[in-house]
Amino acid sequence: MARVKQFACLMIAAVLGVLGCTPIGAAELGVGSKRPAGRQVAEPQYTRIVTDDFRRNITVRYPPRRIVSLAPAATSMLVAAGASRQLVGTIEYSGQPGSEKELAKIGTPDAIDMERLIALRPDVVIVWPDGNNPAQIATIERLGIPVYRQEAVTLDGIASSLRRLGRLTGTSAAADLEASTLETKLAALRQGYANETHTPTVLLEVWDRPLYTVGGKELMSDALRVCGARNVFADLPERAPAIGIEAVLARDPDMIIAAAPPGRGASWLAQWQRFPSLRAVQTGRLLAFEDQRLSALGPGVIDATAVMCRKIGALTGRTKLN
């Protein structure tokens, strides 16, 4: 299991007081004095304290010109925030969009090539705490590289996370605009399904063997709530708990949604036909949902939620299918 504009550097000095930046080496650079003709003077750099999604304050070069992302969601969020030109490296993962093909690849989410990471000279590294290797995150921090932890656990949190990334990267204008667009979409979805009188229970199957679902604190569970449905395992505290067939039979969901990799959903659902006593099987409310944006945890999850809401509505006979 398992988201392109930057402020001109000259604007930093103009808004230094507003942004709270701290100049580095201003005296050595002779800021405000005459520079000898023909002598090359290093460009002044600034740092800024920013807050990540886990309320941790980190000090970064501002704006960071070399960003490495170690998670697919963080990469798509950076692109949405208008910071794609600052990305210099990412990881390999299934379904990687063409826009990332030219970026340097430095490993997988749980196994980063540290030498390649260091060679990229990142100003900041964006990590996903639940998906990246904790020991490697600690190593990056010991190397003195700023680490920004990014993760949205609710649909509302996506816009907030996007705005924070905009403040990190110096692209707040683009990030805030995209965040407002996402908030508008989400508000329309909530309104469309707010007055539903029946809330179907749903098993959201995210893997088949062994059988995995999502708990109530996972973003996909929140997506079900927006659609006027309820995760039948919402009481479980784990993000992605393993469950048994007996537990599914006992809870007897109204619907089963196979949030599967492309081409796998139908086979996952076919396995449930062995249990004709299940309400979802009896009513034929079995849905293969292979839109990978739903599990990607980036800004595209809101559009994927809209698609899922329509499909749930079609299966349950609802008239409001936004």
Write the DSSP assignment of 192-221 as a string of letters: HHTT-S---EEEEESBTTTTB---TTSHHH
The predicted pLDDT at position 286 comes to 97
Domain covering 10-23+43-179 assigned CATH 3.10.129.10 in the classification: no
The predicted pLDDT at position 93 comes to 74
Is 201:224 a contact under the CB 8 Å cutoff? no
The predicted pLDDT at position 189 comes to 92
Q: How far is CA 107 from the centre of its chain?
A: 19
The predicted pLDDT at position 174 comes to 97
The predicted pLDDT at position 130 comes to 85
Evaluated on CA atoms 262, 283, 305, 149, the torsion sign reads: negative
Look up the pTM and report it: 0.80
Matching CATH topology for 10-23+43-179 and 196-316? yes
Q: Which residues of the chain have pLDDT under 70?
A: 1-45, 94-99, 101, 318-322
List, for residues 280-295, the tens digit of each pLDDT value.
Answer: 999 999 999 999 899 8
Task: Select the CATH number that applies to the domain covering 196-316 from these four: 1.10.10.60, 3.40.50.720, 3.40.50.80, 3.40.50.1980.
Answer: 3.40.50.1980
Give which of 167, 115, 104, 107 is closest to 140, Cα–Cα: 115
State the Cα angle at 83 between 101 and 133, rounded to 5°: 65
**How far is it, in rounded angstroms, from Cα 286 to Cα 289?**
10
Domain spans of the chain, in order of start: 10-23+43-179, 196-316
